[in-house]
Amino acid sequence: MNILRPFSKPFLSSVGGLALYCVTALLLGFSASASAHQECAAPGCAASEPYHGMPAIAAIGARTGKYMEIPEAAKGPSIDPAKGYRIQELGRGLYMVTDNVYQAMFVVHEKGVVLADAPPPLAGFIAKAIREVTGKPITHIIYSHAHVDHIGAAGQLLATLPRRPVIIAHEETQTILARARDPKRPLPGVTFRDKYTLKVGGQRLDLSYHGNGHEPGNIFILAPEQRTLMVVDVIFPGWMPWRRLALAQDIPGYFKQVEKIKSMDFDWLVSGHVARAGTKTDVAMQHEFLQDLKEAAGKALQNTALGEGMDARDQSNPWAVFDNYIDRVAAQCVNALTPKWASRLAAFDVYIWDQCFTMEQSLRLD
Ligand SMILES: [Zn+2]
């Protein structure tokens, strides 16, 4: 493989020269890693000159020295380190439990508790959080979707309960879980396709499905009286979405789902992640960011020529031609979004390259 060439004989024989170069570079104020990088001229290595107009934000795979500061608006209420979690009442008998990274929700009714999601990082906290407000047992568990990071503590929780609760999920979630055969995620006993209303002990939750906005089977859980909506892995209050638009499997479907959430009437959003509950303002902000992302990636696709600045010998390698093209499209996209969004969304720098790559790909292919 060409990539191994730096370790071939001519390279080793030049180690002495490299050492001298490094000392000189250090004296000149360059880092040793930068000098090593510049020494690699073998095919497959990073070019000594970056793309024209390369963003300062480290590209995927490059080490970041210090990430950008988290804006105050993205931070949540502090957590008692002795407890490791906090609960927040969002309406009558409805609580969010969170470690300020993951979120689950529970609703207390006359005879018990309905729990929505059981993320493994909250495994040790959910039962304690419920006991803070009631001694009643868990009667129902709702799965927001099949991903193990949101429901993977369900099996462990079930093993501690005297009576098995009713597990409710979308039918696509059941299909995914049946294939996974994962004891951490027991199969649901009740499934639905479009809508399901859970009325229990004076509380009501409206479950509905709006297509593949994250993965198939990811549902909306609305508590109408408490004006609280739970939708997981779609909106990230105050934060950049997780990488690649939170791994959405269908990007147009994801955009449609954000529109749907924006059109709904609620006060609180339990989004499954980040440090605080969301509001309609957070939804509007993410919607605006997504529109800007789409526009920036679209313009970059239009303004970028194939093959520009490449080694002529690579022009017969279509994969290389597209790698070079897509890199330059993403760089333009990152540059276009940075001035407006870098200080507004937490972790903008962490995932902006991912979002630009995802968006340009969707615009070219979907
Ligand atoms: Zn997920």
User: For the segment 59-104, what is each residue's pLDDT rounded down to a tens digit?
Assistant: 999 999 999 999 999 999 999 999 999 999 999 999 999 999 999 9
pLDDT for 27: 42
pLDDT for 310: 95
pLDDT for 41: 84
State the distance from the centre of ligand 1 to the C-alpha of 101, rounded, in angstroms.
14
For the residues 280-309, what does the mean pLDDT come to?
Answer: 97
Per-residue pLDDT band for 123 (boundaries 50, 70, 90) equals very high
State the distance from the centre of ligand 1 to the C-alpha of 246, rounded, in angstroms.
7
State the distance from the centre of ligand 1 to the C-alpha of 297, rounded, in angstroms.
25
State the distance from the centre of ligand 1 to the C-alpha of 223, rounded, in angstroms.
21
Q: Are 92 and 267 in contact (CB under 8 A)?
A: no
State the distance from the centre of ligand 1 to the C-alpha of 170, rounded, in angstroms.
14
Using the predicted structure, report yes or no on whether residue 25 has a pLDDT greater than 80: no
Q: Are 336 and 306 in contact (CB under 8 A)?
A: no
pLDDT for 38: 54
Q: Are 237 and 277 in contact (CB under 8 A)?
A: yes
Could you tell me how many residues make up the chain?
366
Q: What is the mean pLDDT of the chain?
A: 91
Give the residue range(s) of CATH 3.60.15.10 domains in the chain. 72-278
Handedness of CA 312, 318, 323, 324 (dihedral sign): positive
Handedness of CA 273, 277, 282, 287 (dihedral sign): positive
CA dihedral (199, 89, 226, 201) in degrees, to 10, reads 20
State the distance from the centre of ligand 1 to the C-alpha of 293, rounded, in angstroms.
21
pLDDT for 18: 40
Residue 20's φ and ψ, nearest 5 degrees, are -60, -40
State the distance from the centre of ligand 1 to the C-alpha of 304, rounded, in angstroms.
33
For the residues 113-138, what does the mean pLDDT come to?
Answer: 98
Fold assignment, 72-278: Metallo-beta-lactamase; Chain A (3.60.15)
Q: Are 210 and 233 in contact (CB under 8 A)?
A: no
For the residues 158-179, what does the mean pLDDT come to?
Answer: 97
- Alpha-carbon distance 251 to 256, whole Å? 9
Residue 276's φ and ψ, nearest 5 degrees, are -150, 165
Using the predicted structure, report yes or no on whether residue 364 has a pLDDT greater than 80: yes
